[in-house]
Amino acid sequence: MQPSDILILSNGPGELATWVRPVVKSLRQVLGNDRSSYRISLILSPCPNASGKEVEIAESYPEIDRIQPPEHFFSFLLTGKTAQNWDWRKNGVVLFLGGDQFYTVIIGKRLNYRTVIYAEWDARWHQWIDRFAAMTPKVIAKSPQKYADKFTVVGDLMAEVQGAEGQRGSGAVGQWGKIELIGLLPGSKPAKLAQGVPLGLAIAQQIHTLRPTTKFIIFVARTLDIQTLAKFADTQQNPIIKKLGWSSAELVFSPESNQYFLKTESGLTVELCTEFPAYKLLSQCRLCLTTVGANTAELGALAMPMFVLIPTQQLDAMRSWDGLPGLLANAPVLGSIFALIINWLVLRNKKLFAWPNIWAKAEIVPELVGNLQPETVAKMVVDYLENPERLLEMSDRLRAIRGQSGAANKIAQIVQQELAEARGVQENGEI
């Protein structure tokens, strides 16, 4: 059998964690682990939400054979040569899992490979793409009917999170026993962490005052180390804490449990979890407090009840927008002014921010936007904890909009079919 290459195009940390990870696992399950027969390469394109550690994340996926970082992307796009001058096998597929769909067209033509696009919301460049793996039938309905035969509905890759770890239980189990556990996900970028870490700790302190047996755990983003996150809980390194009167904490290590904690001035200890992905531990939480971003999509896929916190005490710190708004908000000198204007306009329009709410076009999970006060948020959280039927309803609604798992395996099968199609064309001497 002729050896083949599978080239995956992707970009940001969210896509790597929730799209690339399950797909490469399924590709190896479907195609096998013989690298001389099937080689998987990953080329990253620049992303405004990138953390700078995307290569490190991808390197933790053993199914991938080669990775090129985003700084070399446009050189490859223009010349067809990678920074390390990779060789390319005659038979192959370009698989789009994040970035700009047009890149798939260009690279597919340059390498003379078949092309497959995972189309979450829209499908583009229909005449030049061989196959589309559509998240829902709505993607097909928005496309010209004459290209309908190129489409296969595969479902939502985000549902693979739930499929991989099982559905969420009714309460905290496992290592935490029946302890009531609340997860805190403050994000990965400094702009979010500066507010998210001390606000989350302050809310945890207030909840603990009302429910002393409740435990808390911060899920540290894959692109962060514990020491960096702890800096945002230190009043000497994060001036927002004193300015807003939120909680500070020191980093402590427990030799007995071999765990790091943040310990507040009142003595509350919050465990730090660095496991990635931490779906099993997340599934033990009663609910989570999270910032906007890919976190909300992953929690939604787990059917995990959540509160999405968008504090506006420092509007100019919210600079994580995509496209032109993100570029303007992060521009030198005037970036702060642009950020204030953009965020004011966005918040004034009362758009939905959490991915599950965007998908449902309704506020399934509460989005708390504004001058957030820890006491107020804590009381809202406790109200849900004391009325578990509200948490169950939120979980059921989240599960309903995510659909069934299996998208990654279906995409892997499409890639397998396209590789076979390419081999058949070559063997017939048509190219």
Distance set, CA 360 to CA 150, 356, 398, 430 (Å): 27, 6, 9, 46
Q: What DSSP letter does each residue of 25-94 carry, written as one string? A: HHHHHHH-S-TTTEEEEEEE---TT--S-HHHHHHT-TT--EEE-GGGHHHHHHHS--TT-----SEEEE
Tokens of 148: 């309908």
Residue-range domain boundaries for the chain: 4-155+406-427, 164-402
Split at pLDDT 50, 70, 90, the class of 341 is low
pLDDT of 314 above 70: no
Split at pLDDT 50, 70, 90, the class of 166 is very low
Q: Specify the CATH class of 164-402 in words.
A: alpha beta
Helical residues (DSSP H) of 70-220, grouped into ranges:
73-79, 101-111, 137-141, 160-165, 190-210
Average pLDDT for 300-323: 73
Residue whose C-alpha is closest to residue 70's, from 100, 110, 114, 40: 100
β-pair partners for 370: 311
In angstroms, the CA 353 to CA 291 distance is 10
pLDDT of 320 above 60: no
Count of alpha carbons within 13 angstroms of residue 325, beta-carbon side: 15
Q: Which amino acid is at 116?
A: V
Residue whose C-alpha is closest to residue 356's, from 202, 140, 162, 219: 162
Residues in the chain: 431
Split at pLDDT 50, 70, 90, the class of 364 is very high
Tokens of 4: 């083949």
**CB distance 115 to 105 below 8 Å:** yes
pLDDT of 129 above 50: yes
In angstroms, the CA 178 to CA 130 distance is 51
pLDDT at 310: 87
Q: What is the DSSP letter of 16?
A: I
pTM (global) more than 0.75? no
In angstroms, the CA 157 to CA 403 distance is 10
pLDDT at 270: 97
**CB distance 16 to 51 below 8 Å:** no
Q: What DSSP letter does each residue of 336-399 carry, written as one string? A: HHHHHHHHHHHHHTT---SHHHHHHTS-SS-EEEES--HHHHHHHHHHHHT-HHHHHHHHHHHH
Q: Specify the CATH class of 4-155+406-427 in words.
A: alpha beta
Residue whose C-alpha is closest to residue 301's, from 355, 363, 221: 355
pLDDT at 337: 62
Average pLDDT for 295-318: 80
**CB distance 284 to 217 below 8 Å:** no
Same fold across 4-155+406-427 and 164-402:
yes
Please tell me which residue, 250 or 170, carries the higher pLDDT value.
250
Handedness of CA 140, 142, 147, 150 (dihedral sign): negative
The single residue listed with the structure tokens 């709410």 is: 357
Please tell me which residue, 132 or 430, carries the higher pLDDT value.
132
Tokens of 72: 């070399």
Pairing outcome for strands 269-273 and 259-264 = antiparallel
